[in-house]
Structure 1
Amino acid sequence: MLPREQWEQFEHSILCEKAAFSDNSAGREREEEKCPLRSEYRRDRDRILHCNSFRRLKHKTQVFLSPAGDHYRTRLTHTLEVSQIAGTIARALRLNEDLTEAIALGHDLGHTPFGHAGERMLNELSPYGFHHYEQSLRVVDKLEKEGRGLNLTHEVRDGILKHTNAVAKTYEGYVVRFADVIAYINHDIDDSIRAGILREDEIPSKITSVLGHSKSSRITTLVSSLIECGLNGEAGDEDSLKMTSEVETAYKALHKFMFDSVYTNPVCKSEERKAQDMIAYLYKYYTDHLERLPAMYMNLAYHYGIDMAVCDYISGMTDVFAVETFKELFIPAAWMIK
């Protein structure tokens, strides 16, 4: 037997009956010969890990714009934390870890520079709207590999698209949705404490008495609660994965506390308007000067329209590249007199 076939057989012996099995995948948009070594989902995981968009995540904002410090999260470190948490849940529930990891690694590939501030601005500017989860799917379908896309399996694509506000067709996809919020709410607390805009003892006791008094204990409580409740109903049901009522209530209270204390904090958001103005200037410039887009994006404009191609280009920028491009286009260069 090929190594892939051995692994597929192993999945059937170890995973629960509700898991997504690699040899039962709905396949890819373009049919390919299967890899002799890797399962379909493992292959997708590797394709995402090696793509350009994944590497650019290391220079994209998570919450704090261009933080002056080595220990603040970026979009890449967030993605890795989501993958770790999702993998822990998937293993405990005997779901397919390869599928879970592939979805987790790809879920934020379409995020803009400057985090959700950039996303909100593009959503405001584009007549089609802009949402990072839809853009993440567009990245893997249309933008990677010079427009050829990664040709991922339907299950991975579905999980990427639905990781924010919908229920994926697989339990693995829904696990990533929970892992995403568990990761960001807790590492945002950690980063906020490091930035000096929040203290651990400011989190209300009604929350910490249930979830715990540290990042580690809160993550453990939330993850354990999901595992304790187990898999319910059928994949795709809203309540197919849930926390206990006590933990869910405390989590929702923590989420509200973070929005009130951090996500709308003027210190945290002090530079957002500048970042959004830069994106607005770039958007108008490229819609008016299509010829200045790289060749691939000019081709995308021909097929999908100028607005979508400009969103593709800007959303793929890192924070640093967006700033440097803005400077090049709008800030006069120093005149060097010889």
Structure 2
Amino acid sequence: MKVKFYSPQREYHEKKEEFNSAISKVIESGNFILGDEVSNLEESIKKYTGAKYAIGVASGTDALVIASDILGFKDGKEVITSPFTFLASASCLSKHNAKPVFVDVDEESFSLDANKIEEKITDKTVGILPIHLFSQMCNMDKIMSIAKFHNLRVLEDAAEAFGMRWKGTGSLYKHSGTVGDMGVFSFFPTKTLGAYGDAGMIVTNDDELGKLAKMFRVHGASKKYHYDYIGYNSRLDTIQAAVLSIKLKYIDNAIEKRAAVAKWYEERLSDCEYVRFPKIKGEQKGVYYVFNILAEKRDELAAYLKENEIGNSIYYPIPLHLQKCFSYLGYKEGDFPIAEKLSKEVIALPIYPEITEDEVDFVCNTIKKFYKR
């Protein structure tokens, strides 16, 4: 049996007529840049997340770069974030000549350890960039309390966190990206809400920040050919917005199916002593964008899965502080031992709403066979 890590064709064939109709409508209209589908999607995202503003941009990476610029994460200022994440979570700071300041992660959740933030705050610190990934949000109660006390801005990297909601000690669940000053989503095809190409979005509840984001995505223009800022050319493609609007209608069902798949994995691998699962911590509603395990002999297991035609991925094999591009920051091996340890053990298994129980059985049985060799 061959099990792909991700298979967009299944969803497409299930809803082929809807996708084809939406795409054809855009092509026939000829309105390819910031067309009606973009504004319609933005309204739908606002309604779904509870954000006051939703601004579509070309990618999740662009969303981070633009939001970092708007929040003043630049010109030698320091921003605290995690080393155990995708490049864009920190490169968005370096692009503006800000300094990423890393703190280690929590070993059980893989999330930025909020208890280690304050020791890294200096007179140059202007913000915190928590990353919601590995199926859960960071401890936003603690992070927002620290930010308020030290007068820091918070940019939530919710690129992998669409659908996740945090309650903490509050009375209401808040969608990822809407707790801090600004938040960003990526709609890269593999994401929980994924386009058929690159796409992203910025959300905020702040009037001024929302106004700036709308301007910054169109070269910094307040109106056509009137430029108040040096901005960006980063607009959500109208065809991608049309695709995303179709998928958004089914997002809750997709999230439920992902949770069911995660439960299959946990049930079938719970008796495997060589495998451990991350824990979702705090009062929140997680979303299984990926399903990660911590596995002994991880690299050998990855190779064995590949030999048996089972897709897998490693998020992330090298923490950011040890990446060549960040060598100028002066970090060394051993500075963040938990992130470094996790990077040698973590492996992601196939998970998407259309995967079958038989396929999950095959993946789990193959993992057990590997450890019985």
TM-score of the pair, normalised by structure 1: 0.30
- The structure carrying a bigger helix percent of its residues is 1
Higher relative contact order (CA 8 A, sep 6+): 2
- The structure carrying a bigger strand percent of its residues is 2
